Amino acid sequence: MRAAILALALGAAFVLPAAAATTHPKSTPTAKALVPHATLPNVPLHAEFTVEVNAKGQVVRVRTAKGTGGRYPFFNAQVYGNVLQMWIRHPDGSAEVGIYRVTYDYDPKTGKVRRGIALVRAGGNWGNDKGAATMMMETADREAHEGMKDQGKSLPPLNAIIDSTPSPHP
């Protein structure tokens, strides 16, 4: 019994100093710390777009864009993406083909963005064109299917992989 206690005491004498000498990280990053965070600017921001709208109310394309001059690329990217996905309709659900001006104004005091929409000119030959967001989704689907087809062509058949044994090559 004394031998067991002596062995335990000697083991603890060697383990405890070693454990105390190891360095531990001061803190582990949280999930919130790993997510990029955009700091809101403390100045008012303004962006303006002229867009073509089809008969369904979808934005077909952006004719002109005026952002913040490159000083706030995060804001510019957000409002540009927003305007491409936009639907412009009347309260009753109907839409009018035309050219519209869309503005975004950021208020640093409230931290909110106000969007304004105004009809510049009614009519246009793009009334039956697909909306920009629809075109982007169709392009993404087509590219995904093409990628899957290409991926399948480059892979050997499953039976060839399972039934064969690998051999080393020089």
CB atoms within 10 A of CB 97: 19
Residue 140 placed within a domain: no
Query: Range of 44's domain?
Result: 36-130
As for how many domains the chain has, the answer is 1
Residue 44 placed within a domain: yes
Whose CA is closest to 132, among 46, 60, 40? Answer: 60
Residue 42 placed within a domain: yes
Residue 80 placed within a domain: yes
pLDDT confidence of residue 14: 46
Answering whether pTM is above 0.75, one says no
* DSSP letters for 10-73: HHHHHHHHHHHHS---S-PPPHHHHS--PPPPSS-EEEEEEEEE-TTSBEEEEEEEE-STTS-H
Residue 18 placed within a domain: no
Query: Is there a contact between 85 and 139 (Cβ–Cβ < 8 Å)?
Result: no
Residue 58 placed within a domain: yes
- The tens-digit pLDDT sequence of the chain (170 residues) is 555 444 444 444 444 455 555 555 566 666 666 777 667 789 999 999 999 999 999 999 999 999 988 789 989 999 999 999 999 999 999 999 999 999 999 999 999 999 999 999 999 999 999 999 999 999 998 888 877 766 656 666 667 667 656 666 66
pLDDT confidence of residue 1: 52
Per-residue tokens: 113:
């963005």
Residue 139 placed within a domain: no
pLDDT confidence of residue 10: 46
Phi, psi of 7 (to 5 degrees): -65, -40
Per-residue tokens: 7:
């062995």
Residue 100 placed within a domain: yes
Taking the C-alpha atoms of residue 76 and residue 83, their distance in angstroms, rounded to an integer, is 11
Sheet of strand 59-66, all strands in order from the earlier edge strand to the far edge: 59-66, 45-53, 98-107, 112-122
